[in-house]
Structure 1
Amino acid sequence: MSLNGKMDEGAAKGTREYLTFRLDKEEYGIDILKVQEIRGYEPPTRIANAPAFIKGVVNLRGTIVPIVDMRLKFNCEQADYNSFTVVIILNLRNRVVGIVVDSVSDVLELSPDNIKAAPEIESVIDNGCILGLGSVGERMLILLDIEKLMSSVDMGLVPAEA
């Protein structure tokens, strides 16, 4: 509520904040409330027999955190590690997971008016993990349901339900 008793315009319209990041030539957005921190990339400890996109694990203040290279997961052409490469540490329910991305752009507020449904097309990303396409000026963001994506069975980060 503002001082004059009216609802805050952003809150009334369901505006949400998204952390934007780049993978190859595409820009993605994830709910900022799922982000715990952003760190520079450091090579993780490799885990035997893990899928190629799981780079390994790091010890983050006593918590062992699996590190997923989103560029490998999404079949990007290249996955070069440079000074812009970062790890976004996510807090998803009771699991902490890190994702490697090319770079982090900024935090954007998007109202439901700026989000369109994603087209039903075959891709490496399960359509159920795409919330929609956000547009800000000339920019087009692929909005991910990062919690659903990280808990899918093929990620191997959560046990398959019996």
Structure 2
Amino acid sequence: MAERQFVVFKLGKEEYGIDIMNVKEIGPYKESTKIPNSPSFIEGIINYRGEVIPIINLKKRFKLKEKEIDGNTRIIVINLGEKQIGFIVDEASQTARLSDEDIDPTPDIVAGIDRRYITGVGKLDERLIILIDLEKVLTESERKEIENMDI
């Protein structure tokens, strides 16, 4: 029985999990600098440890109702190919260990583009955690657009 560790974060009331191996760092929210003519879900860019990285608002990307930035808001930084990229989440407060038997496959009700990045549903006590692959949240053309941004 294999066990995997996930970083659990919130968008609104829903809990999501990403494989801890994909996470470079979780940091406090930083105001980003807007970039003209960028996709609407790109919040802007920040200086992250001397490197300029794009910041994606996951709520905008998932078309969820946005919430005010507060003291719980975090930026999760991952490696996306050669680039680092940050994702704004409402809260990222814990890690969870899930065994393979605690993870169900993506439900059939999830269709289309969502199915690409939802890898399953984790069951932790009475909670359901939507497991996603942040590397697949962006379409191929969106990834190229970010890679071609002059930053």
Give the alignment's TM-score, normalised by structure 2: 0.88
Letter in structure 1 aligned against 2:61: K
Deviation for aligned residue 1:56:
0.5
2:128 and 2:103 map into 1 onto residues whose CA distance is 10
Q: Residue 116 in 1 paired to residue 118 in 2?
A: no
Q: Partners in 1 of 2:33 and 2:27 — Cα distance?
A: 16
Measure how far apart 1:92 and its partner are: 3.0
> How far apart are the structure 1 equivalents of 2:112 and 2:17?
17
Larger radius of gyration: 1
Cα 1:101–1:124 change in 2 (3 A) is farther
Q: What is residue 135 of structure 2 aligned with on the other side?
A: 147
- What are the ranges of 5 or more consecutive residues in structure 2 without an aligned counterpart? none
5+ residue gaps in structure 1?
1-12
User: Distance between the aligned counterparts of 1:64 and 1:76, measured in 2?
Assistant: 26
Distance in structure 2 (CA, Å) of the matches to 1:60 and 1:154: 21
- Could you tell me how far apart the structure 2 residues matched to 1:108 and 1:59 are? 29
Aligned with 1:98 (options 64, 86, 101): 86
Quote the Cα distance in structure 2 between the aligned partners of 1:88 and 1:49.
24
Fraction of identical pairs, as percent: 36
Query: Is 1:157 aligned with 2:129?
Result: no
The residue aligned with 2:24 is 36
Larger % of strand: which? 2
Name the Cα RMSD after superposition: 1.8
* Equivalences, count: 147
